[in-house]
C-alpha cells in the first residue's frame, strides 16, 4: 500500500511511549498474518529475535524472548521467572517504575529489599556495596535504567560493576532506553534486560521482550510463578518451534516492530538514533530555558528520553490549559509524576526530529502562561 494513503496523526506524542511512529510502520499492519505460518515465524519473529541480540551484544552469550502484553508484563515475567523459590531481590528505586519492580516482587511473595533513594537522586552505590557485603542471601539486583517519572538516567554500568563483583544476577529494566541509548550488555554485566516494542525502537504497543544471558536463563526452568508469564517456557517454545509463541501472537504489532527495526538500521543504528534523541533533547531544554522554564534534574542525571520541567510560578499558568492548547497546535505532553515538585514532562523520542522540537518551542513561546 502507498504510504501516502496513511493519514497523518493529528499530533506528535511527546511521551515516553506509546510514541509517534512512521507511516511505514503503520502501513505494514494492514496485512494479516497466520501465527503458524513459516513466513511469519521464520521470516518475522526469528529475524526480530536475532536482531535484538545483535543490538544488545556481539558476544554470542545472549538470547531473546518475546512476551505478549505491555512492557510491565515482561517485567513481571522476568522477576517471576528468574528468581528461584528461595531467591532474594534487591530493588534500587528512585521513581514510580522502580517502586513497581518492588510491588511486583512483593505480590509474587519474593523476599524483597528496597533501596529508595528518592525521586531526584540516583541510587546510593556505597549503600549497595555495603548491603551486598552484609547480606549474602541476596541473589538478584534490579534497577530501572531510564526512570521516566523524572527522566532520570541511572548509572547501570557502575551498578553492574558492584553487582557482578558480588556474583549476583543483574536485571535491568531498560523499558524506555533500549534502542535509543547504546547499552553493551556483556560489558555492563547485565544478565536480563527488559524492554518493549513501543519505545525507542519505535514500534507499537502489544509485546515486550527480554534479552537474557542464555546460561542464566537455562537455570530458571521451573521457577515461574505464572503459566502465561513463564519466561523460560516461552523462550523454549520459541527456540524449539523456530519462532512459535505458546499463546496467540500479537501479529500486527510484531510485524510493525520488524519494520521499525529495519528503519532503525536505515537510520544508522542505535548510535545515530541516540544522536537524534540527544539533539531533540538539547533543543527542548535550551528552548525552555529561554522561556524561563527550568529542568527538575541536573544535567548529569538527565536522560535524552523525557524531561521533567518545574511548573512556572506565574498565576496565569495552568497545566490543563497548557496541555489542551498544545494539543490543538499538534503536540501532546505529559503531566508531572513526582511528589517533591509541581512539574510537567515532555518526551522527545519516537518519530520526532529536531525541526519538530523547534516547532514545539516556537509554539511554547507563543503561549502566554510564562
All structural domains of the chain, each given as residue ranges with its CATH number in brackets, are 23-265 (3.40.640.10), 269-366 (3.90.1150.10)
pLDDT at position 370, please?
Answer: 58
pLDDT at position 339, please?
Answer: 87
DSSP 155: -
Q: Which residue spans within 203-335 are E strands per DSSP?
A: 207-213, 306-310, 331-332, 334-335
Cα separation, 51 vs 34, whole angstroms: 21
Cα separation, 191 vs 71, whole angstroms: 18
Cα separation, 170 vs 156, whole angstroms: 10
Q: CB within 8 A of 68, min separation 6: which ones?
A: 206, 207, 228, 245, 247, 248, 249, 250
Q: Taking the alpha carbons of 221, 209, 193, 196 in that order, is the dihedral positive or negative?
A: negative
pLDDT at position 5, please?
Answer: 72
pLDDT at position 315, please?
Answer: 87
Q: CB within 8 A of 121, min separation 6: which ones?
A: 94
Cα separation, 114 vs 102, whole angstroms: 7
pLDDT at position 8, please?
Answer: 81
pLDDT at position 6, please?
Answer: 76
**What is residue 13's three-state secondary structure?**
strand
pLDDT at position 230, please?
Answer: 98
Provide the residue-wise pLDDT of the chain in tens; the chain has 370 residues.
567 677 788 999 999 889 999 999 999 999 999 998 999 999 999 999 999 999 999 889 999 999 999 999 999 999 999 999 999 999 999 999 999 999 999 999 999 999 999 999 999 999 999 999 999 999 999 999 999 999 999 999 999 999 999 999 999 999 999 999 999 999 999 999 999 999 999 999 999 999 999 999 999 999 999 999 999 999 999 999 999 999 999 999 999 999 999 999 999 999 999 999 999 999 999 999 999 999 999 999 999 999 999 999 888 899 999 999 999 999 999 999 898 899 999 999 999 999 999 999 999 999 866 5
Question: pTM for this structure?
Answer: 0.96
Cell of 306: 523525557
Q: Which residue in the block uniquely carries the three cell numbers 534534574?
A: 297
Amino acid at each position: 500500500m502507498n504510504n501516502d494513503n496513511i493519514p497523518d496523526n493529528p499530533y506528535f506524542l511527546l511521551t515516553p511511549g506509546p510514541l509517534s511512529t512512521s507511516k511505514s510502520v503503520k502501513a505494514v499492519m494492514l496485512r494479516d498474518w497466520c501465527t503458524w505460518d513459516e513466513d511469519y515465524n521464520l521470516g518475522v519473529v526469528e529475524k526480530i529475535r536475532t536482531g535484538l541480540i545483535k543490538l544488545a551484544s556481539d558476544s554470542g552469550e545472549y538470547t531473546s524472548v518475546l512476551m505478549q502484553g505491555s512492557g510491565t508484563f515482561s517485567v513481571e515475567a522476568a522477576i517471576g521467572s528468574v528468581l528461584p523459590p528461595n531467591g532474594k531481590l534487591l530493588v534500587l528505586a528512585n521513581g514510580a517504575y522502580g517502586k513497581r519492580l518492588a510491588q511486583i516482587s512483593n505480590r509474587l511473595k519474593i523476599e524483597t529489599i528496597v533501596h529508595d533513594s528518592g525521586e531526584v537522586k540516583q541510587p546510593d552505590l556505597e549503600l549497595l556495596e555495603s548491603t551486598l557485603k552484609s547480606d549474602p542471601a541476596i541473589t538478584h539486583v534490579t534497577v530501572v535504567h531510564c526512570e521516566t517519572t523524572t527522566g532520570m538516567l541511572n548509572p547501570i554500568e557502575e551498578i553492574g560493576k558492584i553487582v557482578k563483583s558480588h556474583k549476583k544476577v543483574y536485571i535491568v529494566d531498560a523499558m524506555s532506553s533500549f534502542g535509543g541509548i547504546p547499552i553493551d550488555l556483556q560489558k555492563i554485566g547485565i544478565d536480563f534486560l527488559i524492554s518493549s516494542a513501543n519505545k525507542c525502537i519505535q514500534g507499537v504497543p502489544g509485546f515486550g521482550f527480554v534479552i537474557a544471558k542464555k546460561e542464566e536463563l537455562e537455570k530458571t526452568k521451573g521457577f515461574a510463578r505464572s503459566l502465561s508469564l513463564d519466561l523460560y517456557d516461552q523462550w523454549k517454545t520459541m527456540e524449539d518451534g523456530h519462532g512459535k509463541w505458546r499463546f496467540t501472537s500479537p501479529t500486527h504489532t510484531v510485524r510493525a516492530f520488524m519494520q521499525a527495526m529495519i528503519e532503525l538500521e536505515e537510520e544508522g543504528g542505535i548510535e545515530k538514533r541516540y544522536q537524534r534523541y540527544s539533539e531533540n533533547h538539547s533543543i527542548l531544554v535550551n528552548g525552555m530555558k529561554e522561556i524561563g522554564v527550568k529542568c527538575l534534574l541536573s544535567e548529569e542525571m538527565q536522560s535524552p528520553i523525557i524531561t521533567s520541567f518545574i511548573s512556572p510560578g506565574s498565576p496565569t499558568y495552568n497545566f490543563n490549559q497548557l496541555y489542551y492548547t498544545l494539543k490543538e497546535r499538534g503536540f501532546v505532553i505529559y503531566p508531572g509524576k513526582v511528589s517533591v515538585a509541581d512539574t510537567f514532562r515532555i518526551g522527545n523520542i519516537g518519530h520526532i526530529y529536531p525541526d519538530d522540537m523547534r516547532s514545539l518551542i516556537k509554539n511554547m513561546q507563543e503561549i502566554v502562561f510564562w
